Structure 1
Amino acid sequence: MVDSNEIRELLPEFPAGPLDEFRGKASFDWRKLKLFLEPKDVILYKKRFVEALKTDPIFNEEETQHDEIRRISAHKIRRMNEIPEFHADFSGNLLKLGVFPEVLNLADPSNLVTFMVNRNLYTSAVEGLGTEKHQHLVKAIEESKNFGCFCMTEIGHGSDTKRLKTKATYDAKRRGFVLETPDFEAAKCWSGLLGQLATHAVVYAQLYTPDGCCHGFHQFVVQIRDERTLLPMSGIVVGDMGVKIGLNGVDNGYLLFDKYFVGKEALLNRYADVTDDGEYVVLVEDPKRMFGAALATLSEGRLKIISLCTAFLIKAVTIAVRYAAVRKQFGPSNQEEISIIEYQTHQHRLLPYLSAAFVYKVFSAQILRKHASECSHPGYGYEIHAISSAAKPVASWFLMEALNECRQACAGHGYLKSAELGDLRNDADANCTYEGENHVLNQQTSNFLLKIWPKVLKGEHIDFPLESINFLSDIQTIMNFRVNFNSYEEFIHPRHIIDMYRWLTVHLLKASYDKYEASMEKTKDAFLSKNDNQVYFSRRLTIIYINHYILQTFQREMSSITDENVHEVMRKVFALYALFVLEKHIGFLYSGGLFVGGEPGTLLRDSILRLCHDLKDDAVTLVDTIAPDDYLINSFMGKSDGKVYEHLQKQLPVPNARPTWWRELLTPSQSKL
């Protein structure tokens, strides 16, 4: 229990300034909401970590030259191993729950990506898929002796892992594998740290035994550069992918093997191995368990991306909402100008994204916590794969939509680089692509759901450990549900909102399955039938399915709030995000028969606008509750004191200066004067 004096010391008042007017209108105690969202130890950890970054010279170097950006990024990776504030919590839950990545992501997104590839993606693969003999490789990473990367994607194949062309052929005489890249399309590519820094790589390759039999893709840990010189090993070609539109501190690279030999120990052999004489051996009784474990391992990176998207979203809405409260334009006749956040259009542009920041923050923390518990349920790997393959696309797509709206809502000032929204948008864009291209991931989830539907029709009990789809066991009640309420209070009730999402999930699942079955009758080809089912059916199904699960998670957490005022504002936040997303699918609500007549659709849209209006006076304080430190905001228009124009004036270039190249513009006659 934290007493009131301790709370005020932990969470002091914000600096006085132009935002005071809106802070005075708040309907709730922001400190109580803050402590609901983040326990005391998390708040203290963030403060210590930010203070460590503020005072560390390597984290405050600014450089625009490409090679220097890379040099600084490399030093930051090593420096992270030396910061006490980092070491104190790396092995604990704060890393697993996304707290550490959230801070580092806002300080330097490139550094976060490279660090997580090195200390999480690479090491998780080695630990999760390897055995005791591979653990020294993890220790070498922790001691900064090695740098690791993760190589799955190829130039010609990304998500289609079954068709990866990199080969690993077992050589019984030498007791090892020969790695070979048959052509440039098979080159490993886009791996972070591969371009310049990585000494070791986890490589996905098709495993061949001496009899010529292919046993599918397996993972190998391979040394690719000399640890002292960083020169590539003989038999390896490794290079950089070049300058990108964002995240240029990440040295994405490509890799080719020319009959490169590695010892037998290179195979990560927890689930399968090759004997000395070349016989392939499966080490688990149930191959599905091996596949499920692989899915769970790959899911962790996607779950972390949801947390990163949330951090980007929080930063963007902090900047845009604080600016909207300070910026004044027009007003009623013969009266003072009003803040642009008072306008309905501006509220509708920003507040749904502010509500999403809270919903995603709660969801990302909860799903990472559940994943960290390492559920042993046999269906866990398949369910977490479906969840992560839907949630990563939804979070990253919604983020890009929000960043674009926030940038435009800040008008001309938002176009300045120092506003931070442009760089934020460029860096965030990669979330839509890495760890699986969004549309391809969506299909993974829709395949999972389509397999469940026949079981639902048979009346089988649906039981998955994370409970994302268990409500389908009550299929009859869901299908019979209709919107027969006609007031704002009823429409925004959490139970009614969840019921609408469940109905729409079932409606889209049935429609997707029926379309798939009809196509199968014509084509007799599952691939073509699934392909023809994506745009208006399966893709939309996965979006609604995961939003239902996100909202279900948020609602359960919200029910534990004891303070009445905090609970009420979170209820509105929940409803605004839920209805904002639901409105995008209003056509299906009507075509499926949930909505009849014009009244439900009108009530849906009126409820969104009313929620925006009702949350308007709380917007600045809601932002204060989740806003990062000003050091991490790093924007003249998003600082906690609200002194936008003072900060803008300070960061403008020196006035009355002429260009250094002014003489080049002189005509010959002018030059003689």
Structure 2
Amino acid sequence: MASLLPDFPPGPLDFYRKKASFDWKKMKIFVESEEVVRFLNYASDVFQTLPDFQTDDHSPTLDQQRHKTFKQVVALTQTDFNEKTGKAKTVAAAVRTCIHIAPSAFAKFGINRHYFRDILQNQGTDRHRKFLEDAKNYRINGCFCLTEIGHGSDTKSMRTTATYDKETGEFVMDTPDFEAAKCWASGLGKTATHAIVFAQLVLDDVFYGLHCFVVPIRDARTLLPYPGLVIGDMGEKVGLQGIDNGFVMFNKYRIPRENLLNKYVDVTVDGEYKTSFKSVQEVMQMTFAALSKGRVNIATLAEGYGARAITIAVRYAAVRRQFGPDEDTEIPILEYQSHQYRLFPYLAAIYIVRLFTMYLIDIIDKLEIEQDKRSFSDLITEIHVLSTASKSIAGWLFRDAIQECREACGGHGYLKVSGIGDTRANHDANCTYEGDSHVIIQQTSNWLIKLWPKIEKGTKIETPLQSANFLSDAFDILKHQFHATNVQELCKPENIVDAHQWLVCYLLKETKSKVESLKQTRGSFWVKNDTQVFFAKSLSTAFIQHFFLQRMLTVINEATDVSIKNVLLKLFSLYGLWSLEKFLSTLYEGGYMQGPQGSRLVHEAILSLCGDIKNDAVALVDAVAPPDFALNSVLGASDGQVYQRLQTAMFSVPNGMSRPSWWQEVVNWKSSKI
């Protein structure tokens, strides 16, 4: 254990580390596994030896950031990470490690590997093998083109076309105007040579919906765009500046018929549409199945950024002293109840979401091995439902967590060297890409609403991952009422789960009822539109929160170390009750709670759990924290030497103690006022 996870250096954090009720090293191995911990140690050692992954003390230009990111991608391709990241837990750990050290490089590397290559492999056939082999050997650089300037989540309305020309046996790709330009593709702006492009397939003036093509866009030897293409960089963004997001417009650009990815559909030489699926909708389901893994990876990214911010904020709170019970005593701000309430629910969320994403990535990886996924359509649908909801909730959850951590670190948290500002900027995209969260979360509620008629008929609900099985008992669950009489009783897992199940059942019934009432006077589009706020979105949120807790409880029951089990149960209860707190009005509205006792107990229990977790908070952070090299924060380093590091940082500011080069202008201006 000592060689696998060395002790942290002694320092101010020892005050809380000695109070922990569990061994943080055992917790880390329980959550991650020994295999993953060994990989993390290896990855940290590798990154620290690579010159292009060392931190900068200056703010580089946009072009310098793009250049450094490219060099980091090259360095990543030359490591043996690919061979060492075989299992889901290791893949998730690699994701978190890379985003802490080089988030832009990881995104570019991941797009080429997990989107371009995976889609070629899963949607293509032998005729695309050359593209796949070239991508694996980095002879070509791939990107993923779905979003258009005028349409993102509304894929059906995308307007880039691929029209088949029978005379030449080619597809003619065309962009009717700038609004139909493909955009936001990572790597497209400067470096990609090939693209996976989603375009409307047109045969004899008949539109068959979006289909997937592999499209050469630049000469790999010169990086110049091919004739018929207009390609550009989209410019600076809020964060992730190293990624060259770009746009492309097609002007009657021709590609061979064989460039259609044809595992599920094909177009013959004569222009005949061939597929074994019953409808274009089924084709689309299989085509977009690959996006589910991407959305779970985004939830992993969000949790990784959240873990980074929580590590910094909790460690800083354990060192920073402010005020006290008397004039001679200052206490760590971690002792303050308001500080605990601000941070600890998000600390619990790190564990909840990390365990969930590792589980779902593992399921997806096993599914990808299957040759014929059509027999797993129910599983693919459920994965899609869970991935869209988890991506949305994780994005919002850790967006709020990072902001709270920034504020909890006071003015020092606003310094770039705190590490929180860049984390906030880089995470921000998680709320948007792979589908705006407010839009894609509707796919979860749509699926649940379709289950309601089965519930009314008494049909047993059985889903492959058992996320909705409890809905078989929906009408019995709706008869339940809040019955806890004290905090200890309320914190029992079965009572927290019961409240979440009731909440999902109630919101499903109310959402379905709202849909039916609106159908009398509104069309289907407006029915969906007018049932989102207070209904469908809340339903999706409650549903995924329940499944988060369901998965957490499964893992807790696998723990054999009593001390680890006990602290994980506290995190489970804190997160569960904190989530319920946001639905108190609904719990009263539906009759689950009556009188003031319910809300009072929820509030009391949350604060009580925060107090119980206080002495374990630093150890809990230690078990999920990035190494100091990756964290790169003067406030959150594992030695707790906040003020020494702040002094070093401030004394090292370039020209920080010299007058500005334009000092004479200041003097002349002041002189003119005298």
Range into which the TM-score falls when normalised by the shorter chain: over 0.9
Amino acid in structure 2 at the alignment position of 1:659: P
Alignment of 1:157-556 (within 5 A): 157-209=151-203, 211-284=204-277, 290-374=283-367, 376-523=375-522, 525-556=523-554
Amino acid in structure 1 at the alignment position of 2:557: S
Alignment pair present for 1:53 and 2:63: no
Amino acid in structure 2 at the alignment position of 1:199: T
> 2:62 maps to which residue?
66
Q: Contact 2:392/2:431 (CA < 8 Å) preserved in 1?
A: yes
Amino acid in structure 1 at the alignment position of 2:146: M
Rounded Cα–Cα distance in structure 1 between residues aligned with 2:138 and 2:65: 20
Match of 1:121 among 115, 119, 124: 115
Moved more, 359-368 or 658-667: 658-667
Cα deviation 1:293-330 (Å, max 9, x = unaligned): 23421111001011111111111000000000000001
Deviation at 1:664, TM superposition (A): 2.7
Closer/same/farther in 2, CA of residues 562 and 175 from structure 1, 3 Å limit: same
Alignment pair present for 1:18 and 2:17: no
Closer/same/farther in 2, CA of residues 430 and 476 from structure 1, 3 Å limit: same
Tell me, what secondary structure is at the counterpart of 2:255? Answer: strand
Rounded Cα–Cα distance in structure 2 between residues aligned with 1:61 and 1:17: 24
> 1:3 maps to which residue?
none
Closer/same/farther in 2, CA of residues 451 and 669 from structure 1, 3 Å limit: closer
Deviation at 1:461, TM superposition (A): 1.4
Moved more, 473-482 or 236-245: 473-482
Rounded Cα–Cα distance in structure 2 between residues aligned with 1:469 and 1:668: 71
Amino acid in structure 1 at the alignment position of 2:43: F
Moved more, 61-70 or 41-50: 61-70
Deviation at 1:459, TM superposition (A): 1.0
Closer/same/farther in 2, CA of residues 487 and 295 from structure 1, 3 Å limit: farther
Cα deviation 1:228-279 (Å, max 9, x = unaligned): 1110001000101111111111111111000000001110011111110111
Match of 1:588 among 586, 589, 592: 586
Rounded Cα–Cα distance in structure 2 between residues aligned with 1:382 and 1:292: 8
Closer/same/farther in 2, CA of residues 258 and 295 from structure 1, 3 Å limit: closer
> 2:96 maps to which residue?
102
Mark the runs of 5 or more structure 2 residues left unpaired by the alignment: none
Moved more, 93-102 or 528-537: 93-102
> 1:88 maps to which residue?
83
RMSD value over aligned CA atoms?
Answer: 1.6
Q: Contact 1:78/1:144 (CA < 8 Å) preserved in 2?
A: no
Rounded Cα–Cα distance in structure 1 between residues aligned with 2:479 and 2:26: 40
Q: Contact 2:161/2:199 (CA < 8 Å) preserved in 1?
A: yes
> 1:4 maps to which residue?
none
Cα deviation 1:50-69 (Å, max 9, x = unaligned): 11111101112635110011
> 2:612 maps to which residue?
614
Tell me, what secondary structure is at the counterpart of 2:209? Answer: strand
Moved more, 92-101 or 637-646: 92-101
Cα deviation 1:155-202 (Å, max 9, x = unaligned): 111111111101101011111100000111110011111111110001
Rounded Cα–Cα distance in structure 1 between residues aligned with 2:91 and 2:102: 19
Alignment of 1:540-579 (within 5 A): 540-579=538-577
Rounded Cα–Cα distance in structure 2 between residues aligned with 1:106 and 1:138: 29
Tell me, what secondary structure is at the counterpart of 2:552? Answer: helix
TM-score with structure 1 setting the length: 0.96
Moved more, 394-403 or 132-141: 132-141
Q: Contact 2:210/2:284 (CA < 8 Å) preserved in 1?
A: no
Cα deviation 1:525-573 (Å, max 9, x = unaligned): 1111010000111011100000001110111011011111111110000
> 1:39 maps to which residue?
33
Tell me, what secondary structure is at the counterpart of 1:639? Answer: coil
Cα deviation 1:112-138 (Å, max 9, x = unaligned): 111111111111211111112112212
Q: Contact 1:267/1:273 (CA < 8 Å) preserved in 2?
A: yes
Rounded Cα–Cα distance in structure 2 between residues aligned with 1:621 and 1:95: 21
Rounded Cα–Cα distance in structure 1 between residues aligned with 2:670 and 2:179: 58
Rounded Cα–Cα distance in structure 2 between residues aligned with 1:640 and 1:668: 47
Moved more, 372-381 or 217-226: 372-381
Aligned residues: 661
Amino acid in structure 1 at the alignment position of 2:286: A
Amino acid in structure 1 at the alignment position of 2:343: L
Amino acid in structure 1 at the alignment position of 2:666: L
Deviation at 1:487, TM superposition (A): 1.4
Tell me, what secondary structure is at the counterpart of 2:144? Answer: strand
Amino acid in structure 2 at the alignment position of 1:206: Q
Q: Contact 1:190/1:241 (CA < 8 Å) preserved in 2?
A: yes
Rounded Cα–Cα distance in structure 2 between residues aligned with 1:645 and 1:460: 63
Amino acid in structure 2 at the alignment position of 1:521: Q
Q: Contact 2:89/2:358 (CA < 8 Å) preserved in 1?
A: no
Identity level (%): 43
Amino acid in structure 2 at the alignment position of 1:658: R
Rounded Cα–Cα distance in structure 2 between residues aligned with 1:164 and 1:588: 38
Q: Contact 1:166/1:181 (CA < 8 Å) preserved in 2?
A: yes
Deviation at 1:670, TM superposition (A): 6.7
Q: Contact 1:295/1:382 (CA < 8 Å) preserved in 2?
A: no
Amino acid in structure 2 at the alignment position of 1:543: T
Rounded Cα–Cα distance in structure 2 between residues aligned with 1:72 and 1:283: 46
Deviation at 1:292, TM superposition (A): 3.6
Q: Contact 1:97/1:369 (CA < 8 Å) preserved in 2?
A: no
Deviation at 1:96, TM superposition (A): 7.1
Rounded Cα–Cα distance in structure 2 between residues aligned with 1:501 and 1:81: 45
Cα deviation 1:576-602 (Å, max 9, x = unaligned): 111111101110000001101000110
Rounded Cα–Cα distance in structure 2 between residues aligned with 1:151 and 1:279: 25
Q: Contact 1:312/1:399 (CA < 8 Å) preserved in 2?
A: yes
Deviation at 1:390, TM superposition (A): 0.7
Rounded Cα–Cα distance in structure 1 between residues aligned with 2:593 and 2:225: 63
Deviation at 1:287, TM superposition (A): 6.2
Tell me, what secondary structure is at the counterpart of 1:332? Answer: coil
Tell me, what secondary structure is at the counterpart of 2:289? Answer: helix
Q: Contact 1:292/1:380 (CA < 8 Å) preserved in 2?
A: no
Deviation at 1:663, TM superposition (A): 2.1
Rounded Cα–Cα distance in structure 2 between residues aligned with 1:206 and 1:289: 16
Q: Contact 1:344/1:609 (CA < 8 Å) preserved in 2?
A: yes
Cα deviation 1:434-492 (Å, max 9, x = unaligned): 00100111111111111111111111111111111111112233112111121111101
Closer/same/farther in 2, CA of residues 448 and 572 from structure 1, 3 Å limit: same
